[in-house]
Structure 1
Amino acid sequence: MSWIRDRSTVWPLARLGLAGLLGLSGLLAGCGSGVKAFPLQEKFGSTATYSRLFDATPAQTCEAARRALLSQGYIINTARADLVEGQKSFQPEAESHLQMVIRVVCAPENASGSISLGFVTALQDSYALKKSNNSASLGVGAIGSVSLPFTSGNDSMVKVSSETIASDAFYDSFFDLVKRYLVGDEPTDQAP
């Protein structure tokens, strides 16, 4: 195999060396991948949107959050001393459906546990109606193909988006409602 030793007949890419081959293969792979790149979505900025301090134990805070969700028509999926999760469905249009899931995590903020920090996240999933119609055709040997008017429709809801709610006003109103239920739990000084 003397042709391999002859440098004038070696394929030009072999002269580029390993680094050149890797760079070229990376360039070719990037051209055909078709993967869309999105800018970084998270900034880790203010904590005021998703959390608040409460002058109550974590269990009291989560109980107030549970009552706040129940008062707004949420179905409670999980209710523990440190976690509450509820969901509610909405139908803003005939062919659209929204589902909101709110999760509250209650953590102690001081050593005695008399002050807690409530972390809240709301996730909204959007669904749209997907319609599909199927018609049948029948092949008959002597006549040929005949289309018959048998149709079947399969309508289904398809998830089209999922988004974490980032509105300060939304969370402010939720935290205000939680505070109202915490105030309602405190004993009053008035005698009956």
Structure 2
Amino acid sequence: MKTLLLKPAVVVSLLAALAGCGSSPVYEDEDFKKETPFQRAVDSAPVKACDAAQMALLSQGYRIEASDGLSVHAQKHFQPDDEVNTTIDFYVTCKEQDGGAMVFANAVETTYELKKTSNATGFSVAGAGSITMPWSKSADSLVKVAGQTIADGKFYQRFFDLLSTYLGGKAR
């Protein structure tokens, strides 16, 4: 009787392939629809549209992280409870289209939770074993626990409605 021996590289490859079988890739759910909540046409130049986007975001407590005239990155922080922090990163890009601009908006909500770690001081004594002393250190750190693009059409509608007030008109 012959014994079948597998090389370690083959075993690792098989285990990796089996681990990937448990879930389907998220890109399979991408529809690439023409109508989305992430865009609006406006009757203003792209630079003016992005300037209005900055003003709309600033008026709602967002901090402008970066802006180059045709794009804006803004951020706002929330603390829903003592051990949870949430950040919304809001991105706007303004492109020229048909004598006006197409404004694209995308917001990502990221949630962080406070994780506490503590270390007690310990040492070993020959013949007596290990002794742990009551002096301890603790450290708190925020750990990312979730992150997702906000896809709620009402959220973006509120943004585009406010944007249009800063443009002195309506979004198309």
Give the TM bin, normalised by the shorter chain.
Answer: 0.7 to 0.9
Aligned to 2:138: 153
State the match for 2:78 in structure 1. Answer: 90
* 1:47 to 2:35 alignment: yes
Deviations 1:36-89 (A, max 9, x none): 422523111243310001010001100000000100111111222211110111
1:95-106 pair list within 5 angstroms? 95-106=83-94
1:163 alignment partner in structure 2: 148
Structure 1 distance, partners of 2:48, 2:126, is 77
Scaled by the length of structure 1, what TM-score is found?
0.75
Go from structure 1 to structure 2 and tell me whether the alpha carbon gap of 1:44 and 1:143 turns closer, same or farther (over 3 Å shift).
same
How many residues align structurally?
159
Match of 2:7 in 1: none
Larger Rg: 1
**SS in structure 2 at match of 1:47:** coil
Secondary structure in structure 2 of the residue aligned to 1:171: helix
Query: Percent identical across equivalent pairs?
Result: 35
Deviation track 1:161-186 (CA, whole Å, cap 9, x = no partner) reads: 110000000000000000010008xx
Write out aligned runs for 1:110-129 (5 A): 110=98, 114-129=99-114
Moved over 4 A (4+): none
After superposition, the Cα gap between the structure-2 partners of 1:172 and 1:32, relative to the gap in structure 1 and judged at 3 Å, is closer
**Aligned counterpart for 1:38 among listed residues 21, 24, 28:** 24
Answer yes or no: is the 8 Å Cα contact 1:62–1:80 preserved in 2.
Answer: no
How many angstroms apart in 1 are the aligned matches of 2:130 and 2:89? 51
Q: CA deviation at 1:143?
A: 4.0
Report the structure, 1 or 2, having the larger strand content. Answer: 2
TM-score computed with the length of structure 2 as normaliser: 0.83
Aligned-CA RMSD value: 2.4
Q: Mean Cα displacement is larger for which, 42-51 or 54-63?
A: 42-51
**What code does the residue aligned with 2:115 have?**
K
Of structures 1 and 2, the one scoring higher in RCO (CA 8 A, sep 6+) is 2
